[in-house]
Amino acid sequence: MANFIFRVFLTLVLSYLCNRVNGNANFKDVEEKLKQLNKPAVKTIQSEDGDIIDCVDIYKQPAFDHPALKNHVIQMKPSFDLKDEKLSSKNEPAELAVFQTWQRSGSCPEGTVPIRRIRREDLLRAKSVQQFGRKPHEAVLNSSTTIEHRDGQLPSINTTAVALPIIVNRSAATLVTLGYNYIGAKGIFNIWNPNVEAQDEYTTAQIWLKAGPGDNFESIESGWTVNPQLYGDKRTRLFVHWTKDSYKTTGCFDMTCSGFVQTSSQHVLGGSIGPVSTEFGKQYYLRVGIYMDPNTANWWLKIGKDIPVGYWPASTLMFYLNHSSTMVEWGGQVYSSNVKKKPHTKTGMGSGKFATGLKGNACSILNIAIVDFSTQLKYPQWVGTWADEQYCYTALNYHEGYGKLPIFYFGGPGQNYNCP
């Protein structure tokens, strides 16, 4: 009798566990989500870093699940050519020969795009199936409240103070420009592999192009990240992201929802990149550019030596960004429930060292530029630096000398003696 009762109890427990994932989803939802995300592969590549890369027919990629793209014809390359972009490459660091790990294991055939396969364990790590691949909503504590540095100063652009809202669970250190209409931005990002303390935290080094009201903005973004909850490890990875409503209900990382059309067979969104820089050793860089095609209003992502990776289609995007961006930010962000409180997270930003460490120690962004409707790359006329928690993460726009463009340094270790 006791054995029978135990077997019944065990069956009930197993039945419960088999229908729950993190208390938020059942296995049926997980399987349906996997079918939605992973498209039929023409070829599969097993990467040495553990990723599985599916070479998917370019017209069967996740973007085409979006109803607005039902009859969409892919724009295979941008219709514009920024001559200044090719000229500026002469002054760029030599260590731009960054590769993605999967490339050592194979390549995708023509007419396909490489997509990182989402596995069951990836979904099981998420807080819910619905939240998988998304940044948490940028909740503002009080829309009328502004953050001040501990010395009481607000960031300023062209001597004008800029009030920024208090954002829950995020800490940023950025270079900001606003006040004009921007149709592109670029920067050369120093690549590092900072510490991420907890699985549900992440750190980024990226570009944001934003437009719209502060509590409901639109944003397209790209750079590198360490995000163990999303990717299952602490490798440095290439990413893209977008949102139409401050991350409330729209947008996602990479190809985890329909919103980005990939055209390149050479890059995997979410794929690990390397080599990474070492302290006072060799430095490695990744060039990231995001530009609006004036003929289609599609926003193109270019990586490395002017290689188009794909675009955010105008038809699925936004209201404000269909015309231009009104704010551009370069820098880093840490997401954690333990920022702006004690004890602070030990998740690092950039190299994990403060901006004052400069070259070889701090993370840097070189050759920063914007594009306006003159369609020329140029350094922003007005910029300002901002750090949410200047004793945890810092920002410094450093002028090396006359006639040279400033280099933006940012980052920090998080918790330290002055950031308990």
Contacts of 67 (CB under 8 A, 6+ apart): none
> What span, in angstroms and rounded, lies between the C-alpha atoms of 39 and 145?
45
Angle CA 51–56–61, to nearest 5: 105
Tens digits of per-residue pLDDT, 71-91?
899 999 999 887 666 545 556
User: Both tokens of residue 343?
Assistant: 């004890």
pLDDT at 161: 59
pLDDT (tens digit, 9 = 90+) per residue, 298-353?
999 999 888 999 999 998 867 899 999 999 999 999 999 999 999 999 999 999 99
Of 18-22, 245-249, 288-292, 325-329, the poorest mean pLDDT is in: 18-22
Output the pTM of the full model: 0.89
Burial class (CB in 10 A: 0-12, 13-18, 19+), 12: exposed
DSSP per position, 353-380: S-GGG-TTTSEEEEEEEEE-TT--EE--
More confident residue, 157 or 111: 111
pLDDT band of residue 11 (cuts 50, 70, 90) is very low
Please name which of 5, 386, 364, 412 lies closest in space to residue 190, comparing C-alpha atoms.
364
Task: Supply the pLDDT for residue 21.
Answer: 47
Given a contact cutoff of 8 angstroms between Cβ atoms, the answer to whether 327 and 177 are in contact is yes
Task: Return phi, psi of residue 85, to 5°.
Answer: -65, -40
Per-residue pLDDT tens over the stretch 259-277: 999 999 999 999 999 999 9
% pLDDT > 90, the chain: 70
> DSSP code of 132?
T
Q: For residue 157, what pLDDT is reported?
A: 55
pLDDT confidence band for 168 (50 / 70 / 90):
confident
> How far apart are the C-alpha atoms of 217 and 211, rounded to whole Å?
6
Q: What is the spatial order of strands in the sheet that 112-116 belongs to?
A: 41-46, 52-57, 112-116
**pLDDT value for 49:** 95
